[in-house]
Homo-oligomer: A and B are copies of this chain.
Amino acid sequence: MGRQYAVIGTGAIGGFYGACLQKAGLDVHFLLRRDYDYVKEHGLAISSTFGDFTLPQVNAYNQVENMPPCDVVLIALKTTQNHLLPHLLPPLLKPGTVVITLQNGLGVEPEIATIVGETAQVLGGLCFVCSNKIGLGQIHHLDYGQIQLGAYGNNHQPQGITPTMRQIAADFEQANIPIQLAENLLLARWKKLVWNIPYNGLSVVLDATTDAMMKDSYGYQLSEQLMREVIAGAAGYGLEIKESFIQKMLDYTMKMKPYRTSMKIDYDCHRPLEVEAMFGNPMRAAQAVGVAVPQITMLYQQLKFLDARNIAIGN
């Protein structure tokens, strides 16, 4: 039997990728909360552009203490739940464990590295996937699916392509999950923010899908300017993202099917938004090296305002 996987947070992302891995024959252990009773009895059901499938039986847990230490731990919680990690991670670790965060934003790997210390290697997995949880144990994978994998080193020193990355990639490829290896994790993270910051942020503030933003000239300008600030932030860390990448992202979004971003879905469901990981951390990172990001700052503050009220309404 191959590597043993733990999935922390069996939702749209963790549920989808974990199920793909189990289907490919790997030994996967799922930590659940609200869906625990249902999934323990009925397993997981995936409807996917890669092909629908069900897993009538999965290793389901509602207590991390009952799970075995694993070779690989996939973190797929929302970053708003990261205060739970110091409790959730240690029981899953053994010497050589690889912890992969599939989370959005910036600054999650150093946080995890602090928790796991020398015991485990930390990788970042950037998910380019449209996937939603549509019911108990039911996940709908709509589009894309690629994971970009990069290794975290102290202070985000680029690690290149490591043997561990190649091993993990082999498992994911076996599960038909498209994998790309990134030599520089921090660069990959900033590049992903070029898309995430404008579209996730504006989708909430403007109550709009991607197509509505792109076909309005002001929505288009807003997106473009925000992308420019993200690139400036990255440049503050010596990370070059070419100017042409902006046009590429704008064109790509123009051609996308109308899309409601994950942050907008969270907002509409009155769930806490990942404002700190996706906006606050990049904003503070840019400011820390003297790069002015006034429009990211404004978007951050608008989202903080809306998020606080939205959660209050939801409860």
Contacts and interface: CB of A to CB of B under 8 A. Distances in A.
Nearest to A275: B218
A18 B294 CA distance: 43
Interface stretch (A87-95, A101-109, A296-304): A296-304
Contacts of A212: 309
A295 interface: yes
Given A295-B298, A298-B298, A305 B225 contact: no
16 contacts: A205-B302, A212-B309, A213-B305, A216-B304, A216-B305, A218-B301, A218-B302, A218-B304, A218-B305, A218-B308, A219-B301, A219-B305, A222-B301, A222-B302, A294-B294, A298-B298
Contacts of A297: 225, 295
A162 interface: no
- Please give the count of copies of this chain that the complex contains: 2
A298 B206 contact: no
A306 interface: yes
A222 B300 CA distance: 10
Contacts of A225: 294, 297-298
Nearest to A304: B218
A304 B218 CA distance: 7
Given A218-B308, A295-B295, 18 more contacts: A205-B205, A205-B302, A206-B305, A208-B309, A212-B309, A216-B304, A216-B309, A218-B302, A219-B301, A219-B305, A221-B301, A222-B298, A222-B301, A222-B305, A225-B297, A294-B295, A294-B298, A295-B297
Interface string A150-186: 0000000000000000000000000000000000000
